[in-house]
Amino acid sequence: MPKKLTITPDEAVYDGLYRVVGPRRISGFIERLVRPHVMNLDAAYAALAEDEHREVEALEWSEALIGETLRDYDEAG
């Protein structure tokens, strides 16, 4: 079911869309551009989670960041 979305582009962007894409076609054009970026996020996140090496690196990075933050807090306090 289609949903209404209001966007506010710069005047030059709107004029370009109107000129290049045409009136009454802008919405479909924007949907075709955006769709690949938002429809497969769940599958992409699942694929990332399956990469064990990447997950280990991410955990190490986040724990190191927390450690640095706590050290900075202790030194400031």
Instruction: Provide the pLDDT for residue 20.
Output: 96
Cα separation of 54 and 48, whole Å?
A: 8
The alpha carbon dihedral of 27, 31, 33, 37 has a sign of positive
Query: What one-character DSSP code corresponds to residue 2?
Result: -
Task: Mention every residue, 6+ apart, whose C-beta is less than 8 A from residue 3.
Answer: none
Tracing tokens 């924007």 back to the chain, one arrives at: 30
Q: What is the pLDDT of residues 31-51, one digit of tens each?
A: 999 988 887 777 878 888 888
Give me the percent of the chain exceeding a pLDDT of 90.
48
CA angle 12, 18, 20 (to 5 degrees): 95
